[in-house]
Structure 1
Amino acid sequence: MKHPAYPYEISAGNRYSFISTGRMHIEKIVEFSPTGIPHIYNLGFGDLCLDGTIDDSVHSNNGDNIKVLATVVRILKVFTLLKPGIKIVFTGSTPERLRLYQRILKMYHAEFTKEFVITGLVNVGQQYKELTFNPEIPVPYLAFFVERIY
């Protein structure tokens, strides 16, 4: 995404933070957590709570969605450069967020696929399958994977 992004900091290990400065100042967190499957990290994203946890279901409505998402993409790019050979998985905390992420992947597919292989997790019958993301085919994805091309 070639949109302006917020400056960010690595706050602890695989946790990045930045301040969304739309209508209010809201601290956002992007955190990459090992999944237990070798070389696969989960991308968690949301507002920082007072207890240090991430609220990934809040609707901040801060008026700066594009800049926030551009910042998350920029952090994803940096993280995958720092950890070559990993795959990032992410999903929406709600069906509407999952659809939002799918729309973003569709809209920026040509740009993203210059740097990443993008796949999606689908339920086919009684089996889960990882398929190449095709922005032209409306598939009910359950999650997405991105892996940097080297």
Structure 2
Amino acid sequence: MTHPFYEFTIHNGAIRFEFVSIGQRVIRKVIIYQKLPLPNLYNLALGDIEVGGKADFEIISDNGDRDYVLATVIQTLITFFQNHPQASVFITGSTPSRTRLYQVVIARELTEIQKRFEISGVTETGNEPFQKGVLYRAFVISQK
């Protein structure tokens, strides 16, 4: 969580964030916190903004700036929770490899993440406190 991140703009009551990824290319990115049917639960969606303004949440940018992008996601989580303190955020990748990437980053930054957030891993049987070495399908983060 101490990694440099991209400056971002905040939209729609801190549920939409936009920033520019600068790596091999310059790519407009969007992070949207989508309200889910359960009380105070939001889904985090990260994607690229295509020409014309439509968001693509399935695209693989591979822009060479992964750590900057993930650090930016964490910074938007902080801002989101400042505006929605009772919320929880559901995070899963659009592919299994993206979910594994999120898990690797969470495990690597766990000590820092746990200073500010509660984090659970989602398994076939439910949620449990995040543990390194356990393969999760998704993650749920809330503010401490």
User: Partner of 2:99 in structure 1?
Assistant: 98
Deviations 1:42-78 (A, max 9, x none): 1010111235433222221211111111111101111
User: Partner of 1:67 in structure 2?
Assistant: 68
User: Partner of 2:6 in structure 1?
Assistant: 6
- Note the residue ranges of structure 1 that are not aligned, 5 or more in a row: none
Q: 2:138 aligns with which of 119, 124, 143?
A: 143
The count of corresponding residues between Structure 1 and Structure 2 is 143
* AA matched with 1:35: L
- Note the residue ranges of structure 2 that are not aligned, 5 or more in a row: none
Q: 1:130 aligns with which of 127, 130, 137?
A: 127
Deviations 1:77-120 (A, max 9, x none): 11011111110001010010000000001000000000000001
* AA matched with 2:4: P
* AA matched with 2:87: I
Q: 1:46 & 1:130 partners in 2: Cα distance?
A: 26
Percentage of matched positions with identical amino acids: 36
* AA matched with 1:31: I
1:23 aligns with 2:14: no
What are the within-5 Å matches in structure 2 for residues 41-60 of structure 1?
41-60=42-61
Q: 1:39 & 1:53 partners in 2: Cα distance?
A: 26
After superposition, the Cα gap between the structure-2 partners of 1:51 and 1:35, relative to the gap in structure 1 and judged at 3 Å, is farther
TM-score under structure 2 length normalisation? 0.94
TM-score under structure 1 length normalisation? 0.90
Which secondary structure state, in structure 2, belongs to the residue aligned with residue 96 of structure 1?
A: helix
Which secondary structure state, in structure 2, belongs to the residue aligned with residue 33 of structure 1?
A: strand
